[in-house]
Every structure is written in structure tokens, then in C-alpha cells.
């Protein structure tokens, strides 16, 4: 018989089954207590236990009330929904948290690479990096804020490629990307919103 994803208790609050927890302990960097805690937080945001794209975008609108997070949330959704079933469930969610909170340097930046590689062909192009930079600016309303932000998305992309595209083929392989990020600890701040 197939294990249910969760079982209901008297409180009617969904709980993870022991089998699911044991499996998540195995495949993430979290212990049982942490998984339980993340599950409750996940349910607060997402009481039905899974989010489709529209719901996920809606959540980001409430997280960034003064920005326009729609585009960025779409790109994020594509990386969260790794099994591409159109939903982010707790398994999708916890595996991203595990990577971003407790993963190795390489795992974290691989994940970011995967987000920037919008068409998932294994390379980041100028166009892909520009689209994500523009989406991050819209999300955080960077355009109107302080001085360093005067650097346009295009200037930032050029700076990134000058630094990372070692073989000058106008696209970044995963190796080029990881080597570039390793050489500059401040890279994360340019590549992602501050809330990461
Ligand atoms: Ca999914
Ligand atoms: Ca690509
Ligand atoms: Ca290259």
C-alpha cells in the first residue's frame, strides 16, 4: 500500500507521517525537529500543502508589497518545482531550504545557476542573466534606490561576463559560473535578492 504524504490527527492539522519524515531526514540536511518546524511554517503560508504558480506569485506579492515580484517568482517557481508537476509541495520546498540554508558552497551556487539558466540547456546566456537581473530589480525596486544601483542590469551582466566567461563564447558553463563565484565572495549579493 502506498504511504500517504501526511496523515490527519484530531486537530485536523496535517502532520507528516513517520515514513515521510524518515525519508526527508535522509535526503536533506535537516533533523526531525527542524523538518517538523519547517512543515508548520510551510503550512502557514500554504495551508493546502501545495502551491501552483499563481498562488506562489501571490505569496511573493505579499512578501514584497512595494515591488513587482511576478517575474522573479516565475523564475523561482521553475527551480522550486524540480519535478515539474506544476506544484511546489513540501518535498520541493524543503529540498530548496536544505540547499540554501545548509548546503555546500557548490550546491548553493549550482541551484542559483539552475535558476539563471532559464531554458535549462546547461548554459547562462547574456539574455538569460539580463532577464533575471531585471526581475530582481523589479522585485526589490532597486531602480529608485541608492547610488551603486545606478549600475544598470546591462552593465551588471557585462561585468559578470567579463569576469566569468573565460573561453569568451558568450555563455557561462556551470564550471565558469562556479569558478567566478568562488573568486568573489560578494557575488551572491549581485546574483540574488537580499532576502535569499
Ligand atoms: Ca513539484
Ligand atoms: Ca540557458
Ligand atoms: Ca563560456
Q: How far is the CA of 128 from the centre of ligand 2 (A)?
A: 7
How many CB atoms are closer than 10 A to CB 21? Answer: 18
pLDDT, residue 94, reads 96
**Which ligand places an atom closest to the C-alpha of 52?**
1
**CA–CA separation, 23 and 45 (whole Å):** 23
CA dist 26 → 21, 34, 49, 95, 125 (Å): 9, 13, 21, 11, 35
**CA–CA separation, 18 and 5 (whole Å):** 10
Q: How far is the CA of 80 from the centre of ligand 2 (A)?
A: 17
Residues of the chain with pLDDT under 70: 1-13, 142-150, 194-196
3-state secondary structure of 16: strand
> Which chain residues have CB less than 5 Å from ligand 1, an ion?
81, 83, 85, 87, 92
Q: How far is the CA of 120 from the centre of ligand 2 (A)?
A: 5
> Which chain residues have CB less than 5 Å from ligand 3, an ion?
165, 167, 169
User: What pTM was computed for the model?
Assistant: 0.84
pLDDT, residue 14, reads 77
Q: What is the DSSP string of 29-72?
A: S--HHHHHHHHHHHHHH-TTSEE-HHHHHHHHHHHSTTS--HHH
**Closest among 53, 62, 58, 120 to 87, alpha carbons compared:** 53
**Closest among 41, 45, 66 to 56, alpha carbons compared:** 45
C-beta of residue 192 within 8 angstroms of C-beta of residue 108? no
* Residues linked to residue 176 through DSSP beta bridges, in sequence order: none
C-beta of residue 128 within 8 angstroms of C-beta of residue 117? yes
pLDDT, residue 9, reads 46
CA dist 91 → 82, 103, 147, 169 (Å): 10, 16, 40, 37
Q: How far is the CA of 173 from the centre of ligand 3 (A)?
A: 6
pLDDT, residue 149, reads 56
End-to-end alpha carbon distance in the chain:
39
Provide the 8-state DSSP code for 100. I
**Which ligand places an atom closest to the C-alpha of 180?**
3
Amino acid at each position: 500500500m502506498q504511504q500517504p504524504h501526511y496523515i490527519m490527527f484530531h486537530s485536523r492539522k496535517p502532520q507528516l507521517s513517520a515514513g515521510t519524515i524518515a525519508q526527508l531526514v535522509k535526503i536533506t540536511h535537516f533533523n526531525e525537529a527542524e523538518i517538523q518546524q519547517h512543515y508548520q511554517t510551510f503550512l502557514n503560508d500554504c495551508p493546502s500543502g501545495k502551491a501552483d504558480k499563481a498562488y506562489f506569485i501571490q505569496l511573493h506579492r505579499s512578501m514584497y508589497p512595494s515591488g513587482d515580484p511576478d517575474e522573479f517568482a516565475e523564475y523561482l517557481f521553475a527551480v522550486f518545482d524540480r519535478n515539474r508537476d506544476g506544484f511546489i509541495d513540501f518535498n520541493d520546498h524543503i529540498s530548496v531550504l536544505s540547499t540554501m540554508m545548509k548546503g555546500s558552497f557548490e550546491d548553493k551556487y549550482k541551484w542559483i545557476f539552475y535558476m539563471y539558466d532559464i531554458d535549462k540547456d546547461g548554459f547562462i546566456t547574456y539574455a538569460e542573466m539580463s532577464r533575471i537581473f531585471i526581475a530582481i530589480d523589479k522585485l526589490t525596486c532597486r531602480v529608485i534606490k541608492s547610488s551603486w544601483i545606478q549600475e544598470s542590469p546591462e552593465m551588471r551582466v557585462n561585468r559578470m561576463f567579463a569576469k566569468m566567461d573565460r573561453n569568451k563564447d558568450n555563455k557561462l558553463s556551470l564550471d565558469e559560473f562556479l569558478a567566478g563565484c568562488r573568486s568573489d565572495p560578494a557575488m551572491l549579493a549581485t546574483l540574488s535578492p537580499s532576502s535569499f
